[in-house]
Amino acid sequence: MNSFDVVIIGSGPGGYVSAIRCAQLGFKTAIIEKYSTLGGTCLNVGCIPSKALLASSHHYSDVSHFAEHGIELTGEVKVNLEKMIARKQAVVDQTCSGVKFLMDKNKITVLEGLGSFVDATHVVVAKADGTSETVEAKNIIIATGSKPANLPFIKLDKERIITSTEALKLKEIPKHLIIIGGGVIGIELGQVYLRLGAQVSVVEYLDRIIPGMDASLSKELTKVFKKQGMKFYVSHKVKSAERNGDGVVVQAENAKGETITLEGDYALVSVGRRPYTDGLNADKAGVKITDKGMVEVNDHLQTNIPNIYAIGDVVRGAMLAHKAEEEGTMVAEILAGQKPHIDYNLIPGVVYTWPEVAAVGQTEEQLKAAGVDYKAGSFPFKALGRARAGGDLDGFVKILADAKTDEVLGVHMIGARCADLIAEAVTAMEFRASAEDISRMSHAHPTFAEAIKEAALAATDNRALHV
């Protein structure tokens, strides 16, 4: 029987990063993955493939604006969806191969098969060929991630009523894509197919899309998407979604109790994700699972069994790849006797639509609910020279700061390159910067980042310079 210092179950961003950090710290490490490729949901059917399709569809969408830049095209521009999907898969394959390279480089043993507990120190790996292998571990990290959630009354046939996994490999552009759920995943995939020519309708139970983010971001993104042609049915409760031949019929009830009927050729069920512990047999190790299906952990990500830890989507908190990576690193360093920490308030959230949406810290709604005395400063992208030069005029940056101390409490932005710009806000808040601190830092001109400086000026003393 092979013995290891650390065995990690699951090779998503949390799992594989944790394995690398464990190896760097001198632990004999193994990682177990039930699929034939490493990288988990994020690399295979999540973050990476969706961003590849968003990039490809963005290029296609940009063509319609070439004329205003003085670029004249001759001939018809067409979408080759098969080639677009193939490129997406090539990006996925290359990225997953990169993880395998990192495992080899760091001398991490990769075990392919379904990992499940025998007891608190042994894991059996059930392989695809019917054989199995049992390994012993001083410490075990559960990193089994999540799967798409569903509504109990909807039957997923994965052909016409689909999840995000199937939406990443459609063989045709939908005529009418009905998206059930207005969260990040549904909105991103909705924009992909909207750009390619599909009619897209979003049905959301709550009163706005991306409901977990600041309401001002939701309002702006809704306005932009409506302008692009996307239709929204917010405050609508889905009652049924059924296949009808090569089509689907979705019925939903609005706030007045009235029923609406939407007919399309695809329905994408995008109502969040659920922790995935199927087949883990956590009970054999004595590990507690909450009534929501999450692995129960303390502030050090340690389960009720001292040598077993859990990270990523399978534990409490936002289901984000970068959050899982931070947790994977943290557990490895705890095992090495170090004292790492994670400030969960400073884990940024991003929506990779165009305009991009990004945020870190507290929303205005949260500050109001907590009774915090705060001030706000905003700056629109349309007032930026760089935005006008590129034609990316939608969006703004908003900074929320403590009314007395001026410490930045939250930064919320929507616009071009916000997925990258949010890192400046995270850095500032990590060092507990004030709005005035940011306003006094030189930002290159012309850049999109100038919007952050201007929003800080607005929050400091209502003295933005360019609006």
Cβ-proximal residues to 136 (8 Å cutoff; 6+ apart), any chain = 1, 2, 3, 4, 121, 122
> Quick one: which of 437, 432, 140, 160 has its CA closest to 280?
140
List, in order, residues 6 or more apart from 245 with CB less than 8 Å away: none
What is the 3-state composition of the chain as percent helix, strand, coil, each rounded to the nearest 5?
A: 35, 25, 40
Q: What gap in Å lies between CA 265 and CA 270, rounded to an integer? A: 16
**Run of H or E including 465:** none
Give the span between the Cα atoms of 375 and 446, in whole angstroms. 27
Which tokens hold the place of 429?
């808040």
Catalytic residue among 59, 65, 69, 445: 445
Residue 59 annotated as catalytic: no
User: 81, 172 in Cβ contact below 8 A?
Assistant: yes
The sign of the dihedral angle between the CA atoms of 141, 146, 147, 153 is: positive
* Cα–Cα dist 118/281, whole Å: 8
> How are beta strands 2-9 and 132-142 bridged, if at all?
parallel
Q: How far is residue 324's CA from residue 327's CA, in Å, rounded to a whole number?
A: 5
Residues acting as catalytic residues: 445
